[in-house]
Structure 1
Amino acid sequence: MNMKDITRIHTFVVPAFGESPYLEACIASLQSQKLVSRLILVTSTPNAYISEIAEKYHIALYINEGEAGISGDWNFGISQVHTPLFTIAHQDDVYLPEYSSRILEEYRRVKKPIIFFTDYWELRNDEVVKKDKLLNVKRLMLKPLEPRRAWNSKWWRRRVLSFGDPICCPSVTYVTDRLPAGTFRSNLKANLDWQAWESLSKLEGAFVYIKEPLMEHRVHSGSTTNKILESNARGKEDLYMLEKFWPKPVARFIDRLYSTNEKSAKA
């Protein structure tokens, strides 16, 4: 498959917000893929910095003049996608060169995929962290989805999601025509991705888990996730999600365990 082929199949959507010092590194990693996909920038905070980055790397920039915020930017970005697959690449993160080629490899092999997602490493203070408590817990949670035969099982993926959200959101590639309109809802700030997985988990088709670490998720004090953790807003959202799977007393018990592990996500 050549470069022209993949640009008709896969798009990286980069929602840019403010003036992230890591945006350029993210874009460089996307343009250094072994198979280079279509790449677009979307933003609800247009500024000279983002415009200069778009011009420097010859990337189409789309301005979201509708609903702002994470869900608004993501849904707007999806509306600009015209390929069968897309990835919402978070502006602070880095993608390893094999990411898109491995996604395309599985796309050719799997019938009725819904999403593809991969293992990942963390970037802390520009150092790659390959193992820590949070990563170990998430990998353990995803063990049931390692066998290919489990990818089409609604029961297994809902059991996995019923104990927390082990799926790294920026590692996910979506099958465009499997997503309903407004997939990401604005009622949650931290767990809009978990909420999306819960909804998509009810569909017929495959949750394709690629066990290889194919991206690096940056953890730093200025990240949205870290700010939400510090505000304690995430606790209520975790309980809200757990109650989609469990009776309230059980959900509260699991929430106490889950919140302990999530604290290690802070920078």
Structure 2
Amino acid sequence: MYIKSFPTDPEMSTSPPRLTVALPTFNGGRHFAETLRAILDQSGVEYDLVICDDRSDDDTLPLARRLAGDRARIEVNPERLGLAGNWNRCAELARTPLLAIVHQDDLLLPDHLASHSAAFDRIPDLGMTVGAAEVIDEQGCPIPPAVIERPSLGPTDRVYPPGGFVAELSRPNPVRCSAVVLRRRALLDSGGFDPSYRYAVDWECWIRLSRRWPVAWLARPTVAVRWHSGSETHRFRRGSDDLDEVSRVLDLALETEAHVLEHPRASRRDADRFLSRAYLNRSLDALHAGDAPLARRCLRRALALRPALLGAMARDPRLAAQMAALALAPRWASRRFGRPAPADRPISGPK
């Protein structure tokens, strides 16, 4: 249990507002004002707004107080809690049956909360809604799907029974936290967010939650997820911690939840294929950045996951030359192929 306590029964509140929007922050001043305004502009549903700050030392808090005024409860943690700890604190501070945790640099479209809240009205035992999302850059401009994939589970809404959503989580994560609304009781039932994770903290929680609760997919995008170099996601690209966590999460989904998977062996092969490409991409990025030890480590991991990757590399002479040099003469390869790192890409890499 990672959530300490709920001060009130999550299901006690039956009158508006039934929804809390929680905005966990830490030094988010760069995009925070735009994110907060998008929340304040939500229409069609009443909500309680909680800003839970993890001891920022930039202008996040002054911005929050100036822009939100008395429309938000602003809480400052007595000590740094970290990502998972701050999200759990958001859940503890909520007073409503439903909870939306919004990242400090993402944008909600005007009817996001209303559309997700309506799904809980239609499906009384629902544990979680997951919505489609657009992807934007630092300036708020759309990033083409050819550059970064959109998380999608199909063009039509659907409801997964308890355990049914685990199969969707045993492949590249289709869920973006800002595009989720939770039943607080379901989050408490699942134990909350595990602080031993930093990159895949939400992904792992969704697996535990979806074991026992129905999940609804809403196909119309109502959130814009920001992809930029200053995000929490990009901090991990200096090593392989993010990929190692993803591997751990996929093992959780594929091994401990194998009984709910329709084709567990095929799911394992798909996961290994995805991870091997991700490690290979990281190996290339590290080689180009001059980090030969990281490049070799990621290359070994890629080939261990999928030995057949050697054949794909052999069909690409340039890639084969770089990887062969890395394996045989890493220092020389680092000097020969090192250059400024390419544009950041999602860990899913190319198909």
| Pairwise TM-score range, normalised by the shorter structure | 0.7 to 0.9
The structure whose Rg is larger is: 2
**Alpha-carbon distance in 1 for matches of 2:20, 2:60:** 19
Aligned Cα RMSD in Å?
2.7
Matched, 1:69 2:87: no
Partner of 2:304: none
Partner of 2:96: 83
**Alpha-carbon distance in 2 for matches of 1:67, 1:111:** 36
Matched, 1:264 2:272: no
| 2:177 aligned partner, one-letter code | C
Q: Does the aligned pair in 1 maintain the 2:53–2:61 contact within 8 Å?
A: no
| 2:161 aligned partner, one-letter code | N
| 1:61 aligned partner, one-letter code | I
**Alpha-carbon distance in 2 for matches of 1:72, 1:191:** 14
Partner of 1:208: 216
Displacement after TM superposition at 1:133 (Å): 5.0
Structure 1: which 5+ residue stretches go unaligned? none
Partner of 1:43: 53
Kindly, what percent of the aligned residue pairs are identical? 19
Q: Does the aligned pair in 2 maintain the 1:54–1:60 contact within 8 Å?
A: no
Q: 1:21 to 1:254 in 2, by over 3 A?
A: closer
**Alpha-carbon distance in 2 for matches of 1:147, 1:33:** 22
**Alpha-carbon distance in 1 for matches of 2:107, 2:171:** 27
- Which has more strand, going by share of residues? 1
Partner of 1:128: 142
Displacement after TM superposition at 1:67 (Å): 5.6
220-229 or 38-47, which deviates more: 38-47
**1:129 counterpart SS class:** coil
Matched, 1:151 2:160: yes
Q: 1:77 to 1:147 in 2, by over 3 A?
A: closer
Matches within 5 A, 1:9-48: 9-35=18-44, 36-47=46-57
Q: What are the superposed Cα offsets for residues 82-132 of structure 1, whole Å, 9 maximum, x if unpaired? A: 011111111101100010110121111013111111111111132123633
> Segments of 4+ in structure 1 off by > 6 A?
260-263
**2:345 counterpart SS class:** helix
**Alpha-carbon distance in 1 for matches of 2:40, 2:214:** 28
Matched, 1:237 2:245: yes
Partner of 2:196: 187
Partner of 2:288: none
Matched, 1:199 2:208: yes
Matches within 5 A, 1:245-256: 245-246=253-254, 250=269, 252-256=272-276
Q: 1:48 to 1:66 in 2, by over 3 A?
A: closer
**Alpha-carbon distance in 1 for matches of 2:278, 2:205:** 19
Q: Does the aligned pair in 2 maintain the 1:6–1:38 contact within 8 Å?
A: no
Q: 1:175 to 1:151 in 2, by over 3 A?
A: same
Q: Does the aligned pair in 2 maintain the 1:242–1:255 contact within 8 Å?
A: no
The correspondence for 1:114, drawn from 115, 127, 148, is: 127
Partner of 2:10: none
**2:30 counterpart SS class:** coil
**Alpha-carbon distance in 1 for matches of 2:156, 2:100:** 21
Displacement after TM superposition at 1:192 (Å): 0.7
70-79 or 52-61, which deviates more: 52-61
The correspondence for 2:171, drawn from 163, 171, 188, is: 163
53-62 or 239-248, which deviates more: 239-248
| 1:131 aligned partner, one-letter code | P
Displacement after TM superposition at 1:183 (Å): 0.9
| 1:184 aligned partner, one-letter code | F
Partner of 1:101: 114
- Larger relative contact order (C-alpha < 8 A, sep ≥ 6)? 1
Structure 2: which 5+ residue stretches go unaligned? 1-13, 256-264, 283-343
Q: What are the superposed Cα offsets for residues 20-73 of structure 1, whole Å, 9 maximum, x if unpaired? A: 211111110001011352111101214472332232121221122256110011
Per the normalisation by structure 1, the TM-score is 0.85
Q: 1:153 to 1:124 in 2, by over 3 A?
A: same
**Alpha-carbon distance in 2 for matches of 1:52, 1:84:** 29
